[in-house]
Structure 1
Amino acid sequence: MSRAQEPPFLAEDDASLAARAAWLHHVGRLTQSEVATRLNVPNVKAHRLIARAGREGMVRVFVDGEIARCVQLEQQLCRAYGLAFCEVAPNLDDEPMPLRALGVLGARYLRLVCERGTDPVIGLGNGRTLAACVEHLPRVDAGRIKFVSQLGGFSRRFAANPFDVINRIAERTGAEAYVLPVPFALNSPEDRAVLMAQRGVEEVFALARGASLRFTGIGTVDGHAASLGMSGMIEPEEFDEAARAGGRGEILGHFFDEAGRWVETDLSGRIAAMGPDDLRSGKLVAVAGGAGKPAAIRAVLSSGLLHGLLTDESTAAALLGPQFKL
């Protein structure tokens, strides 16, 4: 097949995806089917990516380019934490929060998920990193996929979360999108029970619980830096309580200590979000990185909840530590 005849999905950022596929196949000794699973693409696309890498001179004795180092980091993170897949974006700049690198990486992942169409209901978190992913997402037809928020989208002052992504992704994909129209944190467990039992709220919550894929960020216990703190969804003293209890990382409103154990606080029974057991159903994929995130990401990784991780090169190296050598 000539270049002019190539299908449209072998374009743009698929050059780096071809390099990843070639490295996994020729160096990692994975079969084409295993490469397809690792990269979350159809088998036929894995075959074409590997063929493209050979045709364009990427494959010699090794795979050319900075992407090879990233693929090595991906392999080691998968082995260290039992991940089904991991993608590492090359460092693009020296910013403490690499939103551009993570946004591009997350957007590509979302695009591939929409193209595959194998997850009929996709749950979304919120935060700066997820917002950056949707910002970089080109317009794509999501078919019959439904997107649903995994946690309440309002602060207790009923201010909308500025990092909410559910409406933005609906605009980019044309898909149906469902919002949990309740505050993230309620005043008491009794208030939560009453509100979550309301018709409409209960239906959206059931849809969220049944998502086959959950895509979210990872937060720290620093209330001044975390998106949930900046948006007013969690108060500073609630972050402090989680930190005193040993919390190091947060995902979808739940805190985990450095050993990956769930940290229960007074807030735990008052949040409009999936329970810890719900997170074990379906596939949980996180996109996170930056200078202040390794401890938080490591805590969530240690929980064993994650199916996949998207991160940046510097964060990946920090997660592995000096004992892991490239």
Structure 2
Amino acid sequence: MQTTVKNLEVSRLVSKVLFSHFKENRSQSDISKSLDLSPAKVNRIIRQAREEGLVEIILNIPHIGVMELEKELVTNTGLSKAVLCPSYSEPASSSVIQIASVAAEFLQDTLRKNDVICISGGKALASIVEVIKPSKGMNITVLPATGGVQGRHFTDVNYLASKLAEKLDGESMQIHAPLFADTQSERDLLINMRATKEVLDMARHADIALAGIGAVAKGDESYFDLRHWAKNEKSLVAESQCRGEVFAHIFDQDGMGCIEALNNKLVGLTLEELSNIPVSIGVAAGADKVAPITGALRGGFLNTLITDELTAKHVLDMY
């Protein structure tokens, strides 16, 4: 009987402490005075209550599901960082702007003084450069990670490197060579030219890489606007197992390079070189980007992903 009474007293004391702290929002020091307990004992009661499951904390904060999804992506895919924006039933153009804004904010939070950043070309990068906030005194260097594309001025990597450096009050360099050479031997010649080699060597040792993740499954994506195609080349890609591209290197759903005859004509960093950059960021969203993102994560050449909530869910389902 004495034991039962004692247990009841302890139980009531624990209940009083927990109710006072979590329901009445009273401080631990206030509770210790009112119940004539030492502050250490009040703290111990609250800590043990958490450990024994007597306390459950429910956070009714905006986008808690998004943050949980970010953690799930990191845990399941080996990413170092996942940054997601909520998915809303808005026009696709609004989603692009939203993701670009998130990517721009993440980039500026990540950048440190004197950092070197290398980038790809493309629409995603153009959107990020457009919305990034100007900053001063960072001494950032922005480099193209690939050669350029004629006729695509506002999404060309050299133009974007220049504009991003301007926004960041830094400096940029350019690669005066095409993204695709006509042959592998021509490509080897181009990347070993002193002017090109100097920029690519700096890009290989960049602190941050920022790239769009493209799709290639249908044959009408942006990748197919990057060069003049020989007869049957375009259909060869569309009919293959290739699903995505980063730095214009095409890869399948498992992150393995495919149609190496095309990849070997590229003037730029390889996917292996990309994976060696400390912070390698991929940006993409949408149903058509699920397989490319999955392949990029399986290939391990990106350690940071910026996308939206719905795309991330589909990537986890496929991964």
**Distance in 2 separating the partners of 1:241 and 1:187:** 17
1:109 aligns with 2:106: yes
Q: Given that residues 92 and 101 in structure 1 are in contact (C-alpha distance below 8 angstroms), is that contact kept between their aligned partners in structure 2?
A: no
Q: What does residue 233 of structure 1 align with?
A: 227
Q: Does 1:306 align with 2:298?
A: no
Partner of 1:277, secondary structure, is helix
> Residues 218 and 256 of structure 1: is their aligned pair in 2 closer, same or farther, counting only changes over 3 Å?
same
Matched, 1:176 2:171: yes
* Structure 1 residues 149 and 302, CA gap change in structure 2 (3 angstroms): same
- Residue 67 and residue 318 in structure 1: after superposition, are their counterparts in 2 closer, same or farther (change >3 A)? same
Contact 1:185-1:234 within 8 A present in 2 as well:
no
Q: 1:68 to 1:187 in 2, by over 3 A?
A: same
SS at match of 2:194: coil
Contact 1:241 1:265 in 2 (8 A): no
Contact 1:223 1:229 in 2 (8 A): no
Contact 1:216 1:252 in 2 (8 A): yes
CA distance in 2, matches of 1:319, 1:177: 34
Which of 159, 169, 192 matches 2:151?
159
User: Aligned equivalents of 2:119 and 2:60: distance in 1?
Assistant: 35
Q: Matched residues, percent identical? A: 25
CA distance in 2, matches of 1:135, 1:204: 24
CA distance in 2, matches of 1:62, 1:294: 31
Write the distance in 2 (CA, Å) between the matches of 1:285 and 1:212: 11
- Cα distance change, pair 179–284 in 1 and its aligned pair in 2 (3 A): same
Structure with more helix by fraction:
2
Q: Distance in 2 between matches of 1:63 and 1:181?
A: 53
Of 275-284 and 294-303, more deviation after overlay is shown by 275-284
CA distance change for structure 1 residues 233 and 65 in 2, over 3 Å: closer, same or farther? farther
Contact 2:162 2:171 in 1 (8 A): no
Query: Residues 322, 300 of structure 1: CA spacing in aligned structure 2 closer, same or farther, 3 A cutoff?
Result: closer
Alignment partner, residue 74 of structure 1: 70
CA RMSD of aligned residues (A): 2.4
Return the match for 2:199 from 199, 204, 211.
204
Q: Is the 8 A contact 1:106 1:130 kept in 2?
A: no
Counterpart CA distance in 1 for 2:242 and 2:263 is: 12
CA 1:311–1:225: 2 relative to 1, 3 Å: farther
Return the letter of the residue paired with 1:297: I
Checking the alignment, whether the CA contact within 8 Å between 2:190 and 2:267 is kept in structure 1 is: no
Q: Secondary structure at the match of 2:142?
A: strand
CA distance in 1, matches of 2:174, 2:88: 33
- CA offset at residue 93 of structure 1? 4.3
Query: How much does 1:322 deviate?
Result: 8.9
* CA contact 1:96–1:292 (8 Å) conserved in 2: no
Q: Does 1:257 align with 2:252?
A: yes
Amino acid at match of 1:249: G
Shift of 1:248: 0.9
Q: Secondary structure at the match of 1:309?
A: strand
What is the rounded CA distance, in whole Å, between the counterparts of 2:223 and 2:259 in structure 1? 17
Mapped contact 2:140–2:168 kept (Cα < 8 A) = no
Structure 1 segments unaligned to the other structure (5+ residues): 1-59
**Contact 2:219/2:234 (<8 A) preserved:** no
Give me the whole-angstrom Cα distance separating, in 2, the residues matched to 1:95 and 1:253.
27
CA contact (8 A) 1:151 1:180 kept: yes
- The one-letter code matched in structure 2 to 1:233 is R
SS of 1:153's equivalent in the other structure is: coil
Q: Distance in 2 between matches of 1:313 and 1:274?
A: 30
In structure 1, how many angstroms separate the alpha carbons of the residues matched to 2:152 and 2:124? 17
Q: CA deviation at 1:318?
A: 1.3
Q: For the Cα contact (< 8 Å) 1:217–1:286, is it kept in 2?
A: yes
Answering whether residue 97 of structure 2 is matched by residue 100 of structure 1, we say yes
* 2:292 partner amino acid: A
Shift of 1:162: 2.9
Which residue in the other structure is 1:149 paired with? Answer: 144
Q: Kindly tell me: are residues 142 and 268 of structure 1, through their superposed partners in 2, closer, same or farther at Cα, counting changes over 3 Å?
A: farther
Residue 135 (structure 1) shift: 1.1
Q: State which of 258, 281, 286 in structure 1 corresponds to 2:282.
A: 286
289-298 vs 190-199, which moves further: 190-199
Bigger Rg, which one: 2
User: After the TM superposition, which residues 25-64 of structure 1 pair with which residues of structure 2 at under 5 Å, given as runs?
Assistant: 61-64=57-60
Calculate the TM-score normalised by the size of structure 2. Answer: 0.74
Secondary structure of 2:135 counterpart:
coil
> Alignment partner for residue 267 of structure 2, among 272, 288, 291?
272
